[in-house]
A and B are shown apart, each in its own frame.
Chain A
Amino acid sequence: MIAILASVLDGVLVGAVYGLAAMGLTLIWGVMNVINLAHGALTVFGMFALYFLASVLGLPPYSAVPIAIVAGFVCGVVLYWIAVHRIIGRPELMSLLATFAVNMVLIGVGTALWTTSPFNVPVTLPGFTWQGYTFTGTHIMAAVLAGVLAGLLYLFLHHTRVGKAIRAVAQNREAAELSGIPTKQILSMAFGLGVALAAVSGTLIATMFPFTMLSGEAYQLKSFVVTVLGGLGNPAGALLGGIALGLVEGLSTPFMPVSWIPILEFGLFVFCLMAFPRGIFALSKG
């Protein structure tokens, strides 16, 4: 019983980070109908950011968080203008392929620079132990920060001009254009924001787990699942969806052979797509 509770709690903590990872994906998708297949690679770049800032330059690890956000945003805007700008409004297939192409380039460059060996940033924070099960400080910190960032995102989208403009463009691009919103700039900023979220989630993940250049794949697949669970374009839903996924992983591990869990996850994924196209947490959009 205690083992189950421990797994559940751990699942929730890690799930919050899955949610953060998916937030960037769902935001971009919701605002401009683009599925960013480079999401995983961008997450990995966030992981490497932590490595360079903390292990190579010796800065305190969590200082990498704001740096990752800013750098991610800038990269996102640049990527938007290079690859995404021309395919807005075109069939989804185009955006899938364009972002996939970007993904190939990023992975190719990354592998050439850093190979596929594992990297680790040993970050330790005091956690707590309960009944023999330890909950690491890093997991707790990451979950807390994920929540904080999600909250900040919400505030941004609802209480700043740019944020509101993003939501307007997401709801109806023509109407937004007509009311004087510079849609192209807004779209680029939304994309930048999405990438920033991907990058910072990578940074947080790197405080908890070792990683390689190819780690992004697993997180990207999880992000798809979370996005579907939480509802397209719904960042709050993404956080909840991530926690739900973490819960599923935590709850199912004690009861079944671990190798069956991905089947469960993808089965759930397909089921949700069919039964709940707007996501389980179909809150109002935004």
Chain B
Amino acid sequence: MQDAFPRGRTAIVAAATFGIGTTPGFSSFDLAAHASIKALAQVGLQPKDVDGLAIVVMDETLSTLNFAEYLGIQPRFMDNTRTGGSSFQIQASIAALALEAGQCDVVLIAYGSDQRSAAGKLISTSRPSPWETPYKPLRPISSYALAAARHMHQYGTTKRQLGEVALAARKWARLNPEATMRDELTMEDYLAARMVADPFGIRDCCLVTDGAAAVVIMRADRARELNPRAAYLLGAAHETTHREIALMPDLTVTGTAAAARRAFAQARIEPPQVDVVELYDAFTINTILFLEDMGFCPRGEGGRFVADGAIAPGGVLPVNTNGGGLSCTHPGMYGLFTMVEASQQIMGVCGERQVAGVDIAVSHGNGGELSSEAVLVLGSPNTVGHS
């Protein structure tokens, strides 16, 4: 049976970030609250107007309870999906179904992390693996490095092609005043960066920042009234293949392939119709793998596809237009930031980095170690007949 999705029946009417970079003195919930009230205010709403809440944070497993209490609300729909960085796309897909069913009217999805100020590194709340820990893996970096090594072996992908991903992200970041890393990055800088886990140096790895994000989702009828440039949910699907990298069936094919196939079918689109792609680039190889998985280039051609600035500003396919996890922000779980950027590109509020005439934007989430992959297709009012 083909999975159904209420295409165009719900929309993201507001999307905001807060505290990207280093934001000492704020807890994860403080940051998430700032992003939430900022998003709600974009459409004249307050926390008390929210009756559906989805949140997940690194440092509190019962975060829906804490955050509802913090905002002073008693939601009738709650979701605390916890699949790592893909949690938010999955939350959006569940929210769309709950909204469509009438179980709630206004859903807030929020995230916040103080990991840079609090710990200075990725906080892990996942238990160590007895099958991996004795070999001293540098998780999650070494897991992605193994995938990169395998892709290079199978398809001839080069270190310089990985570098093209980092350079493109940095070029986009230089157009984003909120981005953490805005200095010029050259191929020479990239190649000279300290090695961490072959083939990765530090410029292949995402940042460790603070930051928060929030989006507000509601049914299309009210969305149209509140925001004439809302981002409509056209399709949403996810796929999980494993938890530990040794159990990943094929290190060069992620669950994104199946998720994108289903989400694109729900949205009734093909890859050439996509105007911007916001991928979860925790590491440079991610961008290459996910572009292949989504069908933007043939399998194995991702490295060659990203060469010569194809995904940078002015390239054939705008990818990670906020600067991505590599150069904009990566506060533990980055998934909601791809949704904010995809929504804002459709809303047309991205300033210098705005891509002209965005009708279809893809927001992608990646959780664990290429383990949980989620794809959300967003469309402008044109795509649902509300132009």
Q: Do A and B bind each other?
A: no
Q: A residues within 8 Å of B by Cβ? A: none
Binding site for A on B (CB under 8 A): none
